[in-house]
Amino acid sequence: MSSIAPQPVTRHPEPIIKVVDLKKSFSEREVLKGVSFEVFAGETLGIIGPSGCGKSTILRLLCGLLQPDGGQIIKTSDNIGLVFQSSALLNSLTVRQNLALPLRLQHLSRKEQERRIQEGLKLVGLAEYIDSYPSQLSGGQQKRTSFARAIVGNPKIILYDEPTTGLDPVMSTIIEDYMIQLEAQLHAASIVVTHQYSTWTRTADRVVMLHAGKVVWEGKPPEAEGSNNPYIRQFAHATREGPMLSNSV
Amino acid sequence: MQLPANNHRLNPISFLESWFASGVQIFGHTIILLFATTKLILTGKIDWREVSRQSYMIGVKSFAVVGITALFTGFAMSLQIARELVLFGADTSIGGVVSLALIREIGPITAGVTLAGRVGSAIAAELTTMNITEQIDALEVMRIDPVEFLVVPRYLAGLFMMPVLSIYAMSIGLIAGINIAHSAANLPMATFLDSVKQTILDRDFTVHFIKAFINATIVIMFSCSIGLSTRGGAEDVGIATTRAIVWTMTMIFVFNYIVTALTYAPR
Ligand SMILES: Nc1ncnc2c1ncn2[C@@H]1O[C@H](COP(=O)(O)OP(=O)(O)OP(=O)(O)O)[C@@H](O)[C@H]1O
Ligand SMILES: [Mg+2]
């Protein structure tokens, strides 16, 4: 697996993101019961786990959309790109205007801004949709636009919530390749949340697995399949036999 | 902020309690939003292109509805006034009385209430939908202030367009009055307008504009604050829309009276 991308594992002493004992409840229901991890520059952390275990919640906490009930989040940058699970494009704006939003703070010249937008769209294969509105795009095209919007501002932290869900296999691979390329190019700290096996095995340098509000496994993707840990075993092999019941979450 | 769901049991006390609590919350949130918006405007954080786009949506597109509403309100009111004044042999003052009613009360109220129905509901629905589909969250992640991006242009557009629409409503009402005076009381237009000129003072225009600005503030601020604070599912769009119409209309009538009482009460 690691042969796919040249991954610079030049670890800086200080992590870009440091999460310590993170806790979050929604009206009595404790979703996160003390989660800790670190992400360094130039590294991608995969977060996996059953549906509803709080993966999106972690990303929302990281970008300040939610406040934690306990624990600490330390980040060294506020320039965050987030690919929303739901795309979250602004419906009243065209694709071009959506991509211009993260560039507002950077005070670029009109020409440079346009160049960056075109480049971002070309990357996800949507150059000819630049003047379309989100409602005129398919779900997968919206997802790709959302991806382009998240990275067009050269963020220091990139958070991907299901970046490849709903895409065809070829486009998934293209997006994964691009995530790998970006990791080296931007030297950003990335977190990818995904259910898609190929996505976390290909793009993540390390993976944490969540279950019932706790980290139950942490390791490198190639270690997942052969691991003795019952949770990651069940998850990697997609079987019914194991500690996770399909109806327990 | 999240508004409490209206899932109280059929207990009148708890009903009143939650009704009052959500009322205080909406009012408080609206006041805070008004301060935040004003501060952004005073510091020049204004996207003029968006202001003109919103002015078109809020103002220009409302001309037909406001016109029709004002026309028929003007017809009905003038008919009543003409009828009574003719009985007293005071037909020459029909113009004065009709125009007083129009400039002081009917013009601003008609424009305000029409805008509350047409624009307040649309803003509440739009912003609630944006909230539900995480568009507002997306703005925040991109470090774009939703108040600056969404509320400021709408508020400025409201402040520009509401006085125009109020004066327009008044003028249409006056045309209705001239028509009725002519057809029902056989009054020539010149006599009507003479009476208008003699009756209306500069102060009436001042109060007219004060009411227009207040109505704009009510319509835009309540609908924005309700839209921005409603989350949940698709059904909440309907709830927010209704809530916005109820709040803006009620507040328009309340504040209209407060201004009237402060400016015209006999001393
Ligand atoms: N705003 C909220 N209010 C109440 N409960 C919430 C809220 N957001 C999330 N939850 C709850 O927290 C839990 C975790 O949600 P989250 O969206 O983080 O799951 P997830 O791991 O991303 O799942 P999926 O893989 O299906 O996307 C869910 O049970 C959800 O019901
Ligand atoms: Mg999720």
Residue A21: which CATH number? 3.40.50.300
Shared-domain flag, residues A100 and A45: no
pLDDT single digits (tens) A19-51: 999 999 998 899 999 999 999 998 999 999 999
Strand order in the sheet with A80-83: A80-83, A157-161, A189-193, A43-48, A206-211, A214-219
* Helix, strand, or coil (residue A241): coil
What pLDDT score does A10 carry? Answer: 55
A134 touches chain B (CB under 8 A): no
CA atoms in the 13 A half-sphere facing the CB of A243: 12
Ligand nearest to the CA of A84: 2
Q: Is the pLDDT of residue B174 over 70?
A: yes
Confidence bin at A248 (pLDDT 50/70/90): very low
Tell me whether A77 touches chain B (CB under 8 Å): no
pLDDT for the residue A3: 46
Looking at chain B, the whole-number percentage of residues with pLDDT higher than 90 is 82
Q: Identify whether residues A148 and A194 lie together within a single domain.
A: no
Longest Cα–Cα distance of chain B, Å, equals 70
Position B1 pLDDT exceeds 80: no
Task: Assign A9 a pLDDT band (cuts: 50, 70, 90).
Answer: low
**A195 in the same domain as A179:** yes
Which ligand has an atom closest to residue A57 CA?
1
Residue whose pair of structure tokens reads 């440079």 in the numeric block: A112
Enumerate residues 6+ apart whose C-beta is below 8 A from B142: A101, A102, A104, A105, A153
- Residue of chain B nearest A158, judged by CA positions: B141
Residues of chain A contacting B126 with CB distance shorter than 8 Å: 92
Number of domains chain A is built from:
2
Residue B130: pLDDT band (50, 70, 90) is: very high
Q: Residue range B20-41: average pLDDT? A: 94
- pLDDT per position as a tens digit, A62-106: 999 999 999 999 999 889 999 998 889 999 999 999 999 999 988
Q: What is the pLDDT of residue A249?
A: 44
Which residues does chain B have within 8 Å of residue A81's beta carbon, measured at their own beta carbons?
A: 141
Beta strands in chain B (DSSP E): none
Question: What is the distance between the terminal CA atoms of chain A, rounded to a whole angstrom?
Answer: 31
pLDDT at position B12, please?
Answer: 84
Residue A249 lies in a domain: no
Residue A232 and residue A177 share a domain: yes
Beta-carbon contacts of residue B215 (< 8 Å; ≥ 6 apart): B108, B111, B112, B115, B162, B166, B252, B255, B256
CA dist B172 → B59, B74, B106, B123, B203 (Å): 16, 8, 11, 26, 21
* Confidence check: pLDDT of A8 > 60: no
Query: Are residues A101 and A69 part of one domain?
Result: no
Residue B168 pLDDT greater than 90, yes or no: yes
Torsion angle in degrees (nearest 10) through CA of A216, A219, A223, A226: -20
Evaluated on CA atoms B227, B229, B232, B235, the torsion sign reads negative
pLDDT of residue B172: 96
Instruction: Say what the pLDDT of residue A12 is.
Output: 52
Tell me the C-alpha distance between A82 and A160, whole Å. 6
Do A228 and A175 fall into the same domain?
yes
Asked whether the predicted pLDDT for residue A2 surpasses 50, the reply is no
pLDDT at B173 over 90: yes
Instruction: Please tell me if residue B139 touches chain A, with a CB cutoff of 8 Å.
Output: yes
Under a CB-based contact definition with an 8 Å cutoff, are residues B238 and B105 in contact? no
In terms of residue numbers, what domain contains A103? 91-154
Residue A105 has its nearest CB partner, among B137, B138, B143, at B143
Helix axes A110-123, A139-151, angle to 10 degrees: 130
ipTM: 0.87
Q: How confident is the model at residue B3 (pLDDT cuts 50, 70, 90)?
A: low
Q: What is the pLDDT of residue A11?
A: 53
Distance of CA B14 to CAs B4, B9, B236, Å? 13, 7, 21
Contacts of A86 in chain B (CB under 8 A): 133-134
Q: Residues A106, A73: one domain?
A: no
CB B64 within 8 Å of CB B167: no
Q: Mind telling me how many Å the CA of B147 is from chain A's nearest CA?
A: 15
Best B45, B131, B135, B136 residue to mutate vs chain A (most A CBs within 10 Å): B135
**Residue from A31, A51, A192, A208 whose mutation best tests the ligand 1 pocket (most atoms within 8 A of CB):** A31
* Closest-CA distance of chain A to residue B135, Å: 5
- Measure the CA–CA gap between A28 and B246, rounded to whole angstroms: 33
Ligand 1 site, residue A64, Cβ cutoff 6 A: no
Euclidean distance between CA atoms A84 and B165, whole angstroms: 41
What is the C-alpha to C-alpha distance for residues B135 and B139, in angstroms, rounded to an integer? 6
User: Is A139 an 8 Å CB contact of chain B?
Assistant: no
Inside any domain, residue A246: no
- Residue A53: strand, helix, or coil: coil
Nearest-by-CA chain A residue for B140: A65
Name every residue whose Cβ is closer than 8 Å to that of residue B236 and which is 6 or more positions away in sequence: B128, B132, B230
Question: Alpha-carbon distance B164 to B216, whole Å?
Answer: 11
Segment B88-120, tens digit of pLDDT: 988 889 999 999 999 999 999 999 999 999 999
Nearest CA to ligand 1 atom 3: A26
In this prediction, residue B9 carries a pLDDT of 60
Are residue A199 and residue A98 in the same domain, yes or no? no
Range B62-78 average pLDDT: 95
Flag whether residue B267 sits within 8 Å of chain A, measured between CB atoms. Answer: no
Entry field: residues in chain B = 267
Q: Which residue of A has its CA nearest to B139?
A: A101
Residue A82 contacts B, CB cutoff 8 Å: yes
Ligand 1 binding pocket includes A86 (Cβ within 6 Å): no
Interhelix angle B12-42/B202-229, rounded to 10 degrees, is 110
Task: Report pLDDT digits (tens) over A177-224.
Answer: 988 988 888 889 999 999 888 999 999 999 999 999 999 999 998 888
Does ligand 1 have an atom closer than 6 angstroms to the CB of A196? no
Instruction: Report the separation in Å between the CA atom of B114 and the middle of ligand 2, taken as the mean of its atom positions.
Output: 42
The ligand 1 atom at the shortest distance from the C-alpha of residue A195 is 25
- Name the closest ligand to CA A53: 1
Based on the fold, state whether residues A146 and A172 are members of the same structural domain: no
Residue A7: per-residue pLDDT: 53
Going by alpha carbons, the residue nearest to atom 6 of ligand 1 is A26
pLDDT band at B212 (very low <50, low <70, confident <90, very high): very high
Read off the pLDDT of residues A149-164 as tens digits, 9 standing for 90 and up: 999 999 999 999 999 9
Q: Is A124 inside a domain boundary?
A: yes
Last residue of a domain, one of A104, A136, A154: A154
A60 lines ligand 1 (CB under 6 A): no
pTM: 0.88
Q: Indicate whether residue A68 lines ligand 1 (CB < 6 A).
A: no
Residue at A201 is within a domain: yes
B10: pLDDT strictly greater than 60: yes
Judged on CB neighbours under 10 Å (0-12, 13-18, 19+), B213 is: middle
Residue A144 and residue A185 in one domain: no
CB pair distance less than 8 Å for A65 and B141: yes
pLDDT band at B205 (very low <50, low <70, confident <90, very high): very high
- The domain spans of chain B are 48-264
Asked if residue A18 and residue A36 are part of one domain, the reply reads yes
Please say whether the beta carbons of A103 and A111 come within 8 A. Answer: no
Query: Which range, of A180-194, B7-21, B88-102, B126-140, averages the lowest pLDDT?
Result: B7-21
pLDDT of A133 = 97
Give the residue-averaged pLDDT of A223-249: 79
Mean pLDDT over B133-142 rounds to 95
| Residue A2 within any structural domain of the chain | no
Any ligand 1 atom below 6 A from CB of A42: no
- Let me know how long chain A is: 249
Asked if the model's pLDDT at residue B195 lies above 60, the reply is yes
Same domain, A113 and A22: no
**Closest Cα to atom 30, ligand 1: which residue?**
A52
